[in-house]
Amino acid sequence: MTLVAGVDSSTQSCKVVIRDADSGALVREGSATHPDGTEVDPQAWWLALQEALDRAGGLADVTALSIAGQQHGLVALDERGDVVRPALLWNDVRSADAARDLVTELGPGAWASATGSVPVASFTVTKLRWLAEHEPENAARVAAVALPHDWLTWRLSGARGLDTLVTDRSDASGTGYFDPVAGEYRRDLLALALGRDDVRLPRVLAPAESAGEGPDGVTLGAGCGDNAGAALGLGLRAGEVSVSVGTSGVVACVSDSPTHDRSGVVAGFADATGRYLPLACTLNGSRVLDAAGALLDVDHEELSRLALAAAPGAGGLVQVPYLVGERTPDLPGATGELHGMTLDNLTRANLARAAVEGLLCLLGSAITGMREHGVAVEAVTLLGGGARSEAVRRLAPAVWGLPVDLPAPAQYVADGAARQAAWVLTGASAPPVWERPATARMSAEATPEVMERYAAAAEAVAARYVENDHSMPDR
């Protein structure tokens, strides 16, 4: 049996799956946690990767490996290959002003046609502008810029020199200085952000191209962004839509053609197979549930039980869950709000329900955003850690008014990376055919009034944010 490994180096943890390259059957797996925070020393990811690989039984009998990773994070390297400063992650919104300036300087239409996306604070390009403005000494030391998955692949390959850095088209498309249609970097946009363009960028490999050799002689794949990894792991076909409830919330769709949404709601990313992956991403995801559980002092199971014990609409309580600011809608400095409190409705069950409904409504607005920009959404496949919540699974079809397909909880991002690794071994024109995960379809009577009340509350939050001149709170 030929074994392949897939890694998901995500925001909160590192997960490894080891699968049979031919059938895709799961053989073993392991995971390790990442530190909290929106700036992280990449060394912590490296240590977590070693720990997760050990827990998954090591690489001695593994033939190929690919890494999928959280997108956008700025890993700035100096001439010796050392990190210049801790990485700034996709959910670090300190570059919100830089994003606004960059969009003003070029215009949203020009960004969308050049890169498929209008940059928000998550994008690497805005972090480079922030670095140039706020840490000029660090900015001057930058000799190469990598993304989390590029850096880990490079370390596994022996970190032999900046010229050996590689990436893939899916993750490059989230930088803000890559054109996914031409498959080329836009160094002019990098220079616009950093003030110079004499910086080495990872070579962009083809989907099934090898990135060289790693430990134990393992063949390395190019890797990919985590959302592209999930699409490959689920085996999403063109037109199929997924909703991931991880640290971020992501509505994504595999598409044969590129998108260029100048409103910025839909990011026009590439997928890991040569196609496209238009997606709408929220900054708030599973942690809305984590926070509600902590507030009510219950675990996830009890939070679900409480939420399902309350009536739809939580007795009038509406949570707008902008707990870490928000990206879709683009309100990086906003804070969360709880609306509609009365003596009667302020119960633990309603608080739990409002948290689950608030999260689902936020994701529902992202689904609406995708629809408004041309993506047909007839049903969605639900994944990510937050999809383990029974309340999320049961309430999603009602809040979204859509059938929801539930695959068994699994590491679909890591699975996609493993499938890419198997593809590198075949060198074929398409990834190996692995059985698609079986899904159970959940349907429910739609409760549009929940989304309507949420939309009114979210509008009030947005209006206040604009009135307050986009002030960023201390977090």
Binding-site ranges for ligand 5SP (CB under 6 A): 10-11, 70-72, 90, 122, 174, 226-227, 246-248, 250, 281, 285
**From the CB of 357, what's the least distance to ligand ADP, in Å?**
14
Structure tokens at 232: 């490959």
- Is residue 226 part of the annotated active site? The answer reads yes
229, 74 contact by CB (below 8 A) = no
Q: Smaller CB distance to ligand ADP: residue 235 or 385?
A: 385
CB nearest ligand ADP: which residue? 385
H or E, element range at 290: helix 286-296
**From the CB of 277, what's the least distance to ligand 5SP, in Å?**
10
Q: Smaller CB distance to ligand ADP: residue 290 or 415?
A: 290
Binding residue ranges for substrate: 71-72
**From the CB of 138, what's the least distance to ligand ADP, in Å?**
27
Structure tokens at 349: 């069950």
**From the CB of 81, what's the least distance to ligand 5SP, in Å?**
24
176: DSSP letter = S
**CB proximity list for 474: less than 8 A, separation 6 or greater:** none
- If contact means CB under 5 to 8 A according to the sort of partner, which of ligand ADP, ligand 5SP, none does residue 400 touch? none
**From the CB of 388, what's the least distance to ligand ADP, in Å?**
3
234, 412 contact by CB (below 8 A) = yes
- If contact means CB under 5 to 8 A according to the sort of partner, which of ligand 5SP, ligand ADP, none does residue 90 touch? ligand 5SP
Alpha-carbon separation of residue 445 from 322, 355, 380 (angstroms): 27, 20, 16
- If contact means CB under 5 to 8 A according to the sort of partner, which of ligand ADP, ligand 5SP, none does residue 386 touch? ligand ADP
- If contact means CB under 5 to 8 A according to the sort of partner, which of ligand 5SP, ligand ADP, none does residue 289 touch? ligand ADP
Catalytic site residue from 92, 97, 226, 290: 226
Helix (H, G, I), strand (E, B) or coil at 327: coil
- Calculated CA dihedral for residues 223, 228, 231, 236, nearest 10 degrees: -110
Q: Smaller CB distance to ligand 5SP: residue 348 or 412?
A: 412
By CB under 6 A, name the binding residues for ligand ADP.
10-13, 246-247, 286-287, 289-290, 300, 384-386, 388-389
- If contact means CB under 5 to 8 A according to the sort of partner, which of ligand 5SP, ligand ADP, none does residue 385 touch? ligand ADP
CA distance 221 to 169: 13
Own/partner long-range contacts of 452-455 (Cβ < 8 Å, ≥24 apart)? 453/313, 453/316, 453/318, 453/340, 454/318, 454/320, 454/357, 454/358, 454/361, 454/362, 454/364, 454/365, 455/361, 455/365
Structure tokens at 470: 């986009």
Binding residue ranges: 71-72
Beta strands in 10-131 (DSSP E): 13-20, 26-33, 39-40, 62-69, 75-77, 87-88
- Known catalytic residues are 226
